[in-house]
Chains A and B, each alone.
Chain A
Amino acid sequence: METTHGPSGAGLLEVRGLTKIFGTLKACDNIDLDIAAGEIHALLGENGAGKSTLVKMLFGSLEPYSGTISWKGQAVRIASPGAARRLGIGMVFQHFSLFDSLTAAENIALSLADDTPILEIAEKARSLSKTYGLPLDPFSLVGDLSVGERQRIEITRCLLQEPQLIILDEPTSVLTPQEADKLFETLERLRAEGKSILYISHRLEEVKRMCDRATVLRHGKVVAHCDPRQETAASLARMMVGNDVAGATRPAAPAALGEELLGICGLSRKPATPFSIPLNNIWLSLRAGEVLGIAGVAGNGQGEFFEAVSGEVLQDSADVIRIRGKGVGKTGISGRRLLGAAFVPEERLGHGAAPRMRLSENLLLSRHATDRKVFLGTAGVIAKAAIGAATQRIIEVMDVRKSAPDPEAAALSGGNLQKFIIGRELDRQPSVLVVNQPTWGVDAGAAARIRQALIELARAGAAVLVISQDLDELFEISDAIAVMHSGALSKPMPIAEATLEKIGLLMGGAEPGHAHHSREVA
């Protein structure tokens, strides 16, 4: 184990031999970690490496099995998030815990133990957020705010408790490049004040740019403490994954693209709930052999768009959506699949897969209509053997790692489940694939494999539509990129013309006629 000692400051948090065991899995195995005052410390690791388990123990949501945590030189036992807050540890979660129907100030008041009057809280929040460059209107309704603004509420709420250590879990995964830049300024200001930050991310460039030190976890163990500025993104990735991660190779798109496989002609949709985004006159044409990326900040209508294209929600007119030349606006998802389309939704558990069902049952979930002849016998009796064989085939092709022969979907790590869900659709060799956030929360190794598979599918003659928040990913795999903002879709920009700046501006709604701030789905 290579160790570099911290650059400056006294030890604020010292963790020695921290271990947490779930059943037979050592989620954290003998972890050592030091955080000095006034540093930004990165915690790196693939999905399932034990990052979340570690920070949950530091924040008191989980109790360690063994090991010690020392705070300013004193051994402490952090029994609850409340205890962590009293010590001076604050946390901003990846998934926000805010009530949409309350105002920012009310949300902040809810998390404070005392009964300070709401106006006082609002005033404090306003001035604090201003000091740190996170302008916030305490009386705005959370439901009306963009993700970036919601994150500001979370951060302000955390800062109000005057923590000395702030834990940030994947804070930029939902932000535009511009919003992320603002966040980095805030973090640097906090560091200048002597506060420490534990920064969890798998975006290596950010870590290199911001962090003073990094601790890398793999399979629950610390594999390295290092100075990220001395490392390259590739060497950091190597530490996380344990071997070299190859970027996807993208052969040039065929000069003449094939026929149109997916056509969307003026798709509009009224908001289904008060917090969902209306879709506004979307036009799109996707040809055989092409990967089209749709960029956009989360909650700008991507979910609504996916539901409309997949047929989970039907349109009023058949011709709004065409799959292989056939109008399918009024055809359900099974009918669209029968035409050769396949879909991968953003949520893995509960949408793309039923959490408490086995992988083989989850195979049947999306393929009972298209593979009826193989998977179902007379009177709809399920052919267990055929499904089992297909499940094994997908597991082998996609290298799905699991603990039991046919585990429940919820027992798999996010990346492995995603590999299975994508493999389930690829196994059918679809002619149209629509995938929403293909590698969200997936580790580098699995993500590379998934991206390569998407490119190969397109080059084999399918049309692939990728909705993603990860711009690096879109630039890696797309032949053209369009941006979704406030339910409207920009014109696709060929990859040769696209730059991060251009796309980033479109994501922020820079096109004329767009409201500056986006709203987010509840």
Chain B
Amino acid sequence: MRIELSKRPQHSTLFSVLSPFIALALTLVAGAIMFSLLGKNPGEALYFYFIDPLREVWSLHELAVKAAPLILIAVGLSICYLSNNWNIGAEGQFIAGAVLGSFIPVVFPGFQNWTVLPLMLIMGMAGGAAYAAVPAYLKVRFNTNEILTSLMLVYVAQLFNDWLVRGIWRNPEGMSFPGTAPFHEYAVLPAIWPDAGRAHWGIVFALVAAVVAWFMLSKTLRGFEVKVLGQSPRAGRFAGFSSSRMVFFAFIVSGALAGLAGICEVSGAVGHLNEKLSIGYGFTAIIVAFLGRLNPLGIVAAGIILALTYLGGEAAQISIGVSDKVVRAFQGMLLFFVLACDTLIHYRIRLVSALPRSKTAEA
């Protein structure tokens, strides 16, 4: 008995749609096994993890707060990955956007009027885009591997931010805790319905970005260019598209969206810049992008699911007393199963018995 993969003549539309759901189901099964190995009742644990956080309005708002950066970043990453540019450094671009976006309220706290917030958002996007342009330039100019350069730049950004908020940008009245002074009212991204919960305008930006990116990718020549250069670079060159320009386009768009996510997180969710800026949004967004099948609309759904793993992780720590490392375990399993299930799109699985099949002919 063995398992045989045979290539489908065309990719399967059915499994393109089904594979993320199969992956989710397998993740839940594996999660149940993990919980029972930890000595917990798996049914109860999964309930507290995935259902309980959805039962209250305020926690739905929390879900939106967590989903917004994931969706924003993942939408940008989908453009990168479809064009075969492996930007792994969205976490760094997120931080770069947060830092540059915080420049005005931190350095010029006296400058207070309605232009501050739009300027902050623009500078956030510029920061992320500029930071993403570094691996893009290195790739085009020196043929460097963008996976390594973009990833290594994450640590540079983290340490730079750490240095800022412990050093020159530290709030003098902050009792020596790292972090800048709280932003003034013109520098805060407002909540959408302040009475109901904390969800800020970031989620709206995320949804708009998803729709615009979806339209661009599926309906326009630019989207076609992204896909052709990603799938067959040589055919793309034959079409007259420039792969160097595409490297910059993909990195700069995804960097700008990550930067926007960064400044929205700082000015919307936190209210000041500190050293614990991100809970790994830039990395989790990679899972979001793949779970959403690199389709911006799918990414909206996937972003909400991954946001739920964060919320569920917090809830489960309190209610059933498991470690917060469980969040990482869930996210890791999910990525694993998503990538594994994608095999089904291009391959058919057959169970083959060890006996030669020609025995019918021999009979």
Contacts and interface: CB of A to CB of B under 8 A. Distances in A.
B220 A379 contact: yes
A354 B6 CA distance: 22
A255 to B, nearest CB: 37
A333 B234 CA distance: 13
Given A66-B361, A361-B224, A355 B9 contact: no
A222 interface: no
A333 B235 contact: no
B222 A352 contact: no
Nearest to A63: B357
A368 B221 contact: yes
Nearest to B358: A68
Contact of A356 (B221, B231, B236, B239): B231
Interface in A216-250: none
A382 B224 contact: yes
A310 B221 contact: no
Nearest to A366: B239
B344 to A, nearest CB: 15
A380 B358 CA distance: 55
A352 B235 contact: yes
Interface in A63-116: 63-68, 75, 77
A353 interface: yes
Contacts of A343: 238
B189 to A, nearest CB: 29
Given A23-B8, A66-B360, A357-B227, A365 B235 contact: yes
Contacts of A379: 220
A369 interface: yes
Contacts of A408: 10-11
B238 A381 contact: no
A381 B220 CA distance: 4
Interface residues of A, number: 47
Contact of B361 (A67, A365, A381): A67
A380 B217 CA distance: 11
B325 interface: no
Interface string B214-246: 000001111010011001101111111000000
A75 B9 CA distance: 31
A65 B219 CA distance: 42
A351 B356 contact: no
A376 B221 contact: yes
A364 B224 contact: yes
Interface string A1-21: 000000000000000110000
B234 A350 contact: yes
B238 A17 contact: no
Contacts of B361: 16-17, 66-68
B362 interface: yes
A354 B10 contact: no
B219 A334 contact: no
Contacts of A368: 221, 224, 239-240
B238 A365 contact: yes
Interface string A338-349: 000001010100
B13 to A, nearest CB: 11
A350 B235 contact: yes
Nearest to A66: B361
Given A361-B224, A376-B221, A411-B9, A333 B358 contact: no
A411 B234 contact: no
Interface string A308-351: 00111000000000000000000011100100000101010011
Residue in B9, B222, B356 whose Cβ sees the most chain A Cβ within 10 Å: B9
Contacts of B358: 64, 66-68, 75, 77
Contacts of A334: 239-240
Contacts of A310: 238
A64 B359 CA distance: 12
B9 A22 contact: yes
A522 interface: no
Interface in A44-67: 63-67
Residue in B9, B235, B357 whose Cβ sees the most chain A Cβ within 10 Å: B235
Given A68-B362, A369-B240, A380 B231 contact: no
B219 A382 contact: yes
A310 B239 CA distance: 11
B230 to A, nearest CB: 10
A361 B221 CA distance: 10
Interface string B298-328: 0000000000000000000000000000000
A256 interface: no
A68 B239 CA distance: 47
Interface of B: 6, 8-11, 219-222, 224, 227-228, 231-232, 234-240, 356-358, 360-362
| In the complex, the 8 A-B pairs of residues with the closest C-beta atoms, listed nearest first | A334-B240, A380-B221, A354-B232, A354-B235, A380-B220, A333-B240, A365-B239, A77-B356
Interface of A: 16-17, 22-23, 25, 63-68, 75, 77, 310-312, 332-334, 337, 343, 345, 347, 350-357, 361, 364-366, 368-369, 376, 379-382, 403-404, 407-408, 411
Given A356-B231, A376-B221, A380-B222, 20 more contacts: A23-B8, A25-B9, A66-B358, A68-B358, A333-B237, A337-B240, A345-B238, A350-B234, A352-B235, A352-B238, A354-B232, A355-B232, A356-B11, A357-B231, A361-B224, A364-B221, A380-B220, A380-B221, A382-B221, A382-B224
